[in-house]
């Protein structure tokens, strides 16, 4: 009897609830193995800039447009669109594929107002979370339906491209793009890599204003690239983050895409309104895939929507309303075209001023590449060690690959920037 009672007490004790303290200790060990993530090389620059108390500090690392006073800009066309949609009674979910009106206008920008592909309904398109979301959706689409494929990415490229295709579990290879000695395009290296890639490979191409180099192929070089892609049956996926923002002319900036379309390619395109409308925080963009016919386009779109559903269900409404209001109204669209050209022209002007300032200081180096490159970024040729000196001695912040965001260069700081660059490079 005594032995039975003792056994009963022991069993009861084993079923006793765990004390709150021991429970917390157990749960805390769940994430003990998690290490801090490495700092984003671009966003980390802004964090360091904000923490610097120096009154002379300059941030030429951020990839966002600033006016000549270094202030963020809200375009007048955006303000007017906001006024028109303010107080709208529609706050419901958008369809999984997004705003139909916004996508109709967006496709016209990329494929052309009179595009036969739009008329024939051969384009599968969905609204995306800006350009990043469009790239990620396509990467997942590629992995699901071409599971044995890989993606060829240029060297260098926007650092997040590698993250996107890595997390979609698509194997990556690289192709030559930038020539460090000439600070221009390594066209022969690019063509050799395209030629030697297995037939039917996927390639990521920057449609215009290559990030981070600002180096774009000429129209004739794009035609040669397109012809080689056709001979090799490669698939071209264009990331077009800067349409209109590069040259000031959206049609001019889509020239690479139009060349591929003229040559009969079926392509994919990522579009974003972060830069060219200043809608950075609205996260509004579009992913489109040109298909063989309307039936295939319906099928592909259904699968893109299926991929989006578990990610974010459906895209946000407000940014899509702004874009569709601007592009759908001739007066507002005309104002946008004027404003996007003003932004592009200011950056082009700052390139000229920076180059002239360095030459006037008697720099022993050539700075011709500053004005030859195009778009938001200038691939300066500065070494990581020179960038470190700019930061430690002059409180100038940029990524360590020497990429200068020309949007952060103003008439007020261009002289200071040029002098600092001259000081750290004059002994090179």
> Which residues are catalytic, by number?
158, 239, 275
The two three-digit tokens of residue 275, written as one number:
């830069």
Cα-atom radius of gyration of the chain, to the nearest Å?
Answer: 26
Rounded-to-integer distance, Cα 226 and Cα 248, Å: 24
Closest listed residue to residue 419, CA positions, set 358, 353, 331, 352? 358
| Backbone torsions φ then ψ of 365, nearest 5 degrees | -95, 160
Q: Which helix (H) or strand (E) holds 128?
A: strand 123-128
Rounded-to-integer distance, Cα 378 and Cα 368, Å: 11
13 burial (CB, 10 Å; 0-12 / 13-18 / 19+) is: exposed
Q: What is the DSSP string of 38-82?
A: PPPTTHHHHHHHHH---TT-EE----S-B-TTS-B---HHHHHHH
Rounded-to-integer distance, Cα 412 and Cα 407, Å: 13
Tell me, what DSSP letter sits at residue 288? Answer: E
Cβ–Cβ under 8 Å, residues 344 and 246: yes
| Backbone torsions φ then ψ of 179, nearest 5 degrees | -105, 105
Rounded-to-integer distance, Cα 216 and Cα 229, Å: 17
Helical spans, DSSP H, in 67-158: 76-85, 100-111, 116-119, 130-145
């Amino acid at each position: 009897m005594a032995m039975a009672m003792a056994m009963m007490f022991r069993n009861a004790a084993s079923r006793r609830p765990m004390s709150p303290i021991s429970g917390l200790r157990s749960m805390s060990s769940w994430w003990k193995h998690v290490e801090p993530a490495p700092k984003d090389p671009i966003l980390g620059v802004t964090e360091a800039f904000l923490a610097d108390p120096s009154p002379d500090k300059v941030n030429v690392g951020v990839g966002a447009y600033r006016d000549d006073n270094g202030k963020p800009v809200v375009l007048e066309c955006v303000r007017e669109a906001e006024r028109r949609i303010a107080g709208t009674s529609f706050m419901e979910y958008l369809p999984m594929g997004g705003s139909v009106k916004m996508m109709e206008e967006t496709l016209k920008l990329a494929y052309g107002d009179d595009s036969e592909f739009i008329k024939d309904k051969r384009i599968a398109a969905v609204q995306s979370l800006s350009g990043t979301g469009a790239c990620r959706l396509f990467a997942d689409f590629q992995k699901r339906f071409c599971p044995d494929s890989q993606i060829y990415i240029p060297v260098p490229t926007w650092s997040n491209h590698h993250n996107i295709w890595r997390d979609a579990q698509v194997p990556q290879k690289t192709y030559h793009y930038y020539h460090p000695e000439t600070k221009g395009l390594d066209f022969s290296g690019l063509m050799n890599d395209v030629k030697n890639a297995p037939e039917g490979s996927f390639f990521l191409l920057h449609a215009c204003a290559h990030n981070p180099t600002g180096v774009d192929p000429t129209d004739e070089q794009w035609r040669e690239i397109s012809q080689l892609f056709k001979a090799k049956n490669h698939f071209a996926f264009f990331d077009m983050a800067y349409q209109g923002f590069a040259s000031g002319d959206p049609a001019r900036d889509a020239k690479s895409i139009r060349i591929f379309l003229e040559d009969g390619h079926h392509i994919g395109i990522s579009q974003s309104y972060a830069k060219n409308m200043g809608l950075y925080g609205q996260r509004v963009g579009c992913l489109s895939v040109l298909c063989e016919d309307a039936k295939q386009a319906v099928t592909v779109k259904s699968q893109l929507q299926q991929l989006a559903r578990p990610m974010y269900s459906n895209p946000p409404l407000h940014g899509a309303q702004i874009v569709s209001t601007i592009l759908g109204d001739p007066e507002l669209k005309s104002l946008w075209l004027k404003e996007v050209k003003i932004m592009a022209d200011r950056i082009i002007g700052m390139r000229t001023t920076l180059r002239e300032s360095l030459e006037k200081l008697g720099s022993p180096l050539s700075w011709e590449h500053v004005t030859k490159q195009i778009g938001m970024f200038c691939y300066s040729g500065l070494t990581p060690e020179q960038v470190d000196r700019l930061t430690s001695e002059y409180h100038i912040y940029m990524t360590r690959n020497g990429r200068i965001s020309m949007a952060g260069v103003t008439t007020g700081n261009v002289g200071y920037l040029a002098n600092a660059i001259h000081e750290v490079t004059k002994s090179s």
